[in-house]
Structure 1
Amino acid sequence: MSAALDTSEPVAWRIRAKQLTAPQFLTPALLLAPSILLLIIVIAYPMAQGLFLSLTDGSLMKPGKFVGIDNYLGLLESPAFYHALRFSAIFAVCNVVGCYLLGLGLAMLLQQDMPGRGILRVLLLLPWIVPSLVAIVSWRWMVADDRALFNQVITFFGGSPIYFLSDSNWTVTIVILIKIWRSFPFMLLSLLAALQTIDRSLYEAAAIDGATRWQAFWNITLPQIANISIVLCLLMTIWTVNDFDTPWLLARGGPANATENLVVYAYRYTFARNDVGMGAATSFITLFILMTLFVFLLRWQRRS
């Protein structure tokens, strides 16, 4: 009996679909039309235009001629492109890992009953609320030269000044730390909301069975927030790879292009070298990399 019902269900849906009249299809089409039109104007047309520009040798002043995939081949042969790709990967991995560990640790701390918890939550959200221009310029003022605030503190304790924005290793470190400082409040807020949805009875049962806090964290907390963690890491990766403000406002992608990610690389080609085709090609390669990562992680999440 159940098998017969299961096989007849698709047939019933097809019969209902055939019985729908034209006005019933027309109403949802009319309701969706403004949204679809807006998506075409805002997303589809600019992407199609950008894809066409990536196949030309145009500039900001003239459209240029069609060159096919020469721009993409030129990028794949450029050492500077691979340097920007490598820094983008390091930048994204360090920021995602740092934000997740810091955000999860603080979220678990804020779940505990402690005095001043509400004020602490507000203070921890400040890096995310402050506009990026104000935050990064303030950080630049604190690390710019030997008379900056950090170097004054180092000198006061008897150390030698550190030129944070002149040494490549220090500049990369500062850019990553500032990005983590600006981004972790979003991870904190999202993970705190996810932790509050976990059933407390699971921890009570684990405690009765003699589980330690680490065992409860590993076997209850992490599996319960796994799905939201993957989504948050994907969003953070996309935002980090597309981050222009932090490396540009702090160090202009320097010194010696040490903090030049793919977005800054595309910006230089488009506006400094006046080569719109190469800039657009860089942007679409970045889009392809992010989409590949996005699809892979979502499929892995679905299988697991």
Structure 2
Amino acid sequence: MSSRQLTAMTGLAWRERARQLTTPEIVTPTVLLLPSLCLIAFLILYPIIQGFWYSLTDGSLLRPGHFVALGNYVELMMSPSFWHSVRFSVVFALSNIVGCYLLGLGLALLMQMDMPFRGLFRVLLLLPWIVPSVVAIVSWRWMVADQNALFNQIIKAFGGSPIYFLSDSTWAVVVVIVIKIWRSFPFMMLSLLAALQTIDRSLYEAAEIDGAGRCQSFWHITLPEIRNISVILCLLMTIWSVNDFDTPWLLAQGGPANATENLVVLAYRYTFARNDVGTGAAVSFITLFILMALFIFVLRLQREDRDA
């Protein structure tokens, strides 16, 4: 084949491709979606690009600053407070995921059974998720704030010594995790309950005929059937836990001694307390990169398992 014929065939291919892209089936949806895409780009893409630029500068809230390349990221890599925030964010997220999943799945299985006032119990169990976070966390703070708080009054009534929940680092971490699980498990329960109701009942009937017990049916039928939704829910819980600002800040302002300071609280401190917008933006983008890497890794594992 000569070069002239090859060039002609390439030109024909490009003209055919252009003709396909200009058909009404392509042009009409593109024109209709273009305003929404422009709005999304303006509201989401532009702030992300602008924030990434801030992470490459040494600016503050009052001045734009100068370009420092990856200086803010290098500084964070050598900062003990940053690595402490990373460790607490990991512990906080894992504890919330495990606690919410176990509690949510257990209650979902319970709410699926025939029992009196089942609808009322479902509504009551959704209250921690419905109540605004400020109201919920301030109420918890009132119950654990000092030696005269509600929980300490109960402890003293049974002859125990008061526990300073928000003054001790270990207890503060425990309280923050418990409150996060309390606020988050209703969403996990509701989602898993919906997934459980989509399982074909004939699978359990066949397993019962084959002599399988409840534990075997749960292990070999229930868990595999809700596996995909479980992965998605755990990923969502990871995002919400890592990005949770309300719980550690409203309860203890990241204290005591920065014990409950996660990455979001650290970014807030750098930006508004230390007036260091560049480093605060760098913390935010490191958090974004970690979550994106986690998402890609988990979704790739899920795809490989599905193809196997």
Q: Same fold (TM over 0.5)?
A: yes
Distance in 2, Cα, partners of 1:17 & 1:103: 52
Per the alignment, residue 301 of structure 2 pairs with 300
Per the alignment, residue 270 of structure 1 pairs with 271
For structure 2, list consecutive stretches of 5 or more residues without a partner in the other structure.
1-14
TM-score by length of 2: 0.92
**Is residue 21–residue 27 contact of structure 2 (8 Å, CA) maintained in 1?**
no
Residues 58, 156 of structure 1: CA spacing in aligned structure 2 closer, same or farther, 3 A cutoff? Answer: same
Q: For residue 214 of structure 1, what is the amino acid of its counterpart?
A: C
Distance in 2, Cα, partners of 1:94 & 1:226: 19
TM-score by length of 1: 0.94
Distance in 1, Cα, partners of 2:136 & 2:173: 17
The alignment status of 1:158 with 2:122, answered yes or no, reads no
Per the alignment, residue 283 of structure 2 pairs with 282
Per the alignment, residue 55 of structure 2 pairs with 54
Deviations 1:190-224 (A, max 9, x none): 00000000000000000110101110000000000
The alignment status of 1:253 with 2:254, answered yes or no, reads yes
Distance in 2, Cα, partners of 1:24 & 1:185: 43
* 1:18 CA displacement: 3.9
The alignment status of 1:110 with 2:77, answered yes or no, reads no
Per the alignment, residue 11 of structure 1 pairs with none
**Is residue 59–residue 65 contact of structure 2 (8 Å, CA) maintained in 1?**
yes
Distance in 2, Cα, partners of 1:17 & 1:181: 56
**Is residue 146–residue 164 contact of structure 2 (8 Å, CA) maintained in 1?**
yes
Considering only aligned residues, what root-mean-square deviation do their CA atoms show, in Å? 1.3
Q: For residue 106 of structure 2, what is the amino acid of its counterpart?
A: G
Per the alignment, residue 29 of structure 2 pairs with 28
Q: For residue 74 of structure 1, what is the amino acid of its counterpart?
A: E
Distance in 1, Cα, partners of 2:33 & 2:20: 22
Residues 21, 267 of structure 1: CA spacing in aligned structure 2 closer, same or farther, 3 A cutoff? Answer: closer
Residues 24, 213 of structure 1: CA spacing in aligned structure 2 closer, same or farther, 3 A cutoff? Answer: closer
The alignment status of 1:230 with 2:231, answered yes or no, reads yes
Query: How many residue pairs are counted as aligned between the two chains?
Result: 291
1:93-108 equivalent positions in 2, closer than 5 A? 93-108=94-109
Deviations 1:90-147 (A, max 9, x none): 0000000000000000000000000010000000000000000000000000000000
* 1:21 CA displacement: 4.1
Distance in 2, Cα, partners of 1:280 & 1:204: 55
Corresponding residue SS for 2:126: helix
Distance in 2, Cα, partners of 1:247 & 1:293: 23
Per the alignment, residue 11 of structure 2 pairs with none
Deviations 1:134-168 (A, max 9, x none): 00000000000000000001111111000000000
* 1:24 CA displacement: 4.5
Deviations 1:37-89 (A, max 9, x none): 11111110000000000000000001000000000000000011000000000
**Is residue 54–residue 277 contact of structure 2 (8 Å, CA) maintained in 1?**
yes
Percent of pairs with identical residues: 73
Q: Which moved more, 1:290-299 or 1:24-33?
A: 24-33
Deviations 1:222-265 (A, max 9, x none): 00000000000000000000000000000000000000000000
* 1:29 CA displacement: 1.6
Per the alignment, residue 3 of structure 1 pairs with none
Distance in 2, Cα, partners of 1:127 & 1:15: 58
Residues 105, 17 of structure 1: CA spacing in aligned structure 2 closer, same or farther, 3 A cutoff? Answer: farther
